[in-house]
């Protein structure tokens, strides 16, 4: 039985946060008129916490937690129990946090909680399973590399941040994965999977009484400790940069963008609005210019990305090889134009688009769980949906122009390209801005 004290961190209209004596945080989000519940376990660790020789270990650990416990010895035992109640379940590894989750019919909430807590706390991490799973993960790495539309994202972050944790692939390298052993895996788990780095989210239909005690009892033996600190990302750039990965492809894939703001920066909302106006939807400037008017690409999209100490705005597209230069010029043209030429109508439409998509993404208990859990583990503060929308509404036209002027400068530009191109000089000329 866990001895704990409840610390009510914040109570709002839609969630309650409880902190246990060992540092574990529980966030409950009761949702009316639905019949399901989602349980998420988020841990503040990921690829940016890794050392170079172990790059990929977080992702390997994610896989290994599904490989058996004493109570459920094999993967099939875990999967069969959750499948028997129609549960959705999965896991993921990111740069700065990992997650394990299941969504169940609320009548089977106890089963979902029991299975998820068991694999999270009691996985055997056996040698024989590790050796088998290494092969699976290496195939996964090959799959990402063979998918240029996906691999270009890794290339882009490597261009921005280079040989430091923020610039390494989440999945690691084939060589690193092959060298990992049971001892290193258990050591990383022991170091990083501690109570103070863990957030549990329960969202949906559930009985409010007794839930904190149940979860507290399930996680009573979780280790108390201080995990590794995230290393500060070094960003040094004074001229445009490009990175070309030469290979034979049927299409050239590119990401062109600029360094921007971290997740704590107040201008991150203005950044999201700029991204929406430029290439966030089917009526955006770049989608209209590149796809609809000229037929240069099937996909073209602009996104603002923010992490704890870094961020960017970037446009991705896949084009015919001979149309690369034209596409880059069109993207740069819109980057330049938006510094001085953006209207109130565009601003208002982008605001409504972002708020609408945000609210649509909160339709399910798992969506709500990811929202509140992600906010808690990355920022340490959870805004209500209304507060989040109000932040978007506060962005004015002057804010957009000020942010655009700040980020769209030649010395902040970066271009990553995958395709059969050899003339590197043309990329340098293109990025003169």
Return per-residue pLDDT of the chain as tens, 433 residues. 344 444 434 444 589 999 998 999 999 999 988 999 999 999 999 999 999 999 999 999 999 999 999 999 999 999 999 999 999 999 999 999 999 999 999 999 999 999 999 999 999 999 999 999 999 999 999 999 999 999 999 999 999 999 999 999 999 999 999 999 999 999 999 999 999 999 999 999 998 777 778 888 889 889 999 999 999 999 999 999 999 999 999 999 999 999 999 999 999 999 999 999 999 999 999 999 999 999 999 999 999 999 999 999 999 999 999 999 999 999 999 999 999 999 999 999 999 999 999 999 998 999 999 999 999 999 999 999 999 999 999 999 999 999 999 999 999 999 999 999 987 777 778 887 7
pLDDT computed for residue 13 by the predictor? 53
Q: What size, in residues, is the chain?
A: 433
Strands laid side by side in the 241-246 sheet: 241-246, 413-419, 252-259, 311-319, 297-306
CB 391 within 8 A of CB 325: no
Q: CA distances (Å), 187 to each of 179, 192, 235, 281, in order?
A: 15, 9, 30, 44
Return all residues near 404 (Cβ < 8 A) that are at least 6 apart: 274, 335, 338, 339, 342
| pTM of the predicted structure, to 2 decimals | 0.93
- Helix intervals (H) in 11-124: 57-64, 75-83, 109-122
The separation between CA 301 and the C-alpha centre of its own chain, rounded to angstroms, equals: 17
Catalytic residues: 62
Nearest of 393, 387, 385 to residue 353 by alpha carbon: 393
Closest of 300, 326, 370, 299 to residue 100, by C-alpha: 370
Q: Where does CATH 3.30.830.10 sit in the chain?
A: 7-218, 241-430
CATH superfamily of 241-430: Metalloenzyme, LuxS/M16 peptidase-like (3.30.830.10)
Question: H or E element: which one contains 89?
Answer: strand 88-93
Biggest alpha carbon–alpha carbon distance for the chain: 67
Helix axes 344-360, 385-393, angle to 10 degrees: 170
Q: Which fold has domain 7-218?
A: Cytochrome Bc1 Complex; Chain A, domain 1 (3.30.830)
């Amino acid at each position: 039985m866990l001895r704990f004290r409840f610390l009510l961190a914040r109570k709002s209209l839609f969630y309650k946060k409880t902190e246990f004596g060992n540092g574990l945080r529980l966030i409950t989000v009761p949702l009316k008129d639905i019949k399901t519940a989602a349980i998420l376990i988020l841990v503040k660790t990921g690829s940016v916490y890794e050392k170079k020789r172990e790059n990929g270990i977080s992702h390997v650990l994610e896989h290994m937690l599904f490989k058996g416990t004493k109570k459920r010895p094999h993967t099939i035992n875990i999967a069969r129990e959750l499948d028997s109640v129609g549960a959705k379940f999965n896991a993921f590894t990111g740069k700065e946090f990992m997650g394990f989750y299941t969504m169940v019919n609320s009548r089977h909430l106890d089963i979902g909680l029991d299975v998820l807590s068991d694999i999270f706390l009691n996985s055997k991490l056996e040698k024989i399973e590790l050796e088998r799973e290494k092969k699976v993960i290496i195939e996964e790495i090959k799959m990402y590399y063979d998918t240029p539309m996906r691999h270009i994202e890794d290339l882009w972050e490597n261009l921005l941040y280079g040989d430091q944790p923020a610039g390494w692939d989440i999945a690691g390298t084939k060589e690193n994965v092959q060298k990992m052993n049971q001892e290193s895996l258990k050591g990383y788990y022991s170091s990083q999977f501690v109570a103070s780095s863990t957030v549990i989210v329960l969202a949906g239909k559930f009985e409010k009484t007794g839930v904190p005690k149940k979860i507290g009892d399930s996680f009573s033996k979780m280790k108390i400790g201080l995990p590794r600190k995230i290393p500060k990302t070094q960003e040094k750039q004074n001229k445009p940069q490009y990175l070309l990965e030469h290979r034979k492809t049927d299409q050239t894939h590119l990401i062109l963008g600029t360094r921007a703001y971290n997740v704590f920066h107040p201008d991150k909302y203005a950044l999201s609005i700029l991204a929406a106006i430029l290439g966030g939807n089917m009526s955006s400037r770049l989608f209209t210019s590149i796809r609809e008017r000229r037929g240069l690409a099937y996909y073209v999209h602009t996104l603002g990305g923010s992490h704890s100490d870094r961020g960017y705005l970037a446009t991705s597209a896949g084009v015919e090889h001979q149309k690369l230069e034209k596409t880059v010029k069109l993207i740069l043209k819109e980057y330049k134009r938006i510094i001085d030429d953006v209207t109130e109508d565009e601003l208002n439409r982008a605001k409504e688009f972002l708020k609408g998509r945000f609210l649509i993404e909160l339709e399910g208990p798992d969506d709500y769980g990811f929202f509140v859990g992600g906010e808690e583990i990355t920022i340490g503060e959870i805004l209500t949906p209304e507060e989040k929308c109000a932040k978007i509404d506060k962005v004015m036209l002057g804010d957009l122009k000020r942010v655009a002027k700040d980020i769209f400068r030649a010395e902040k530009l970066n271009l990553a390209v995958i395709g059969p191109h050899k003339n590197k000089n043309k990329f340098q000329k293109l990025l003169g801005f």
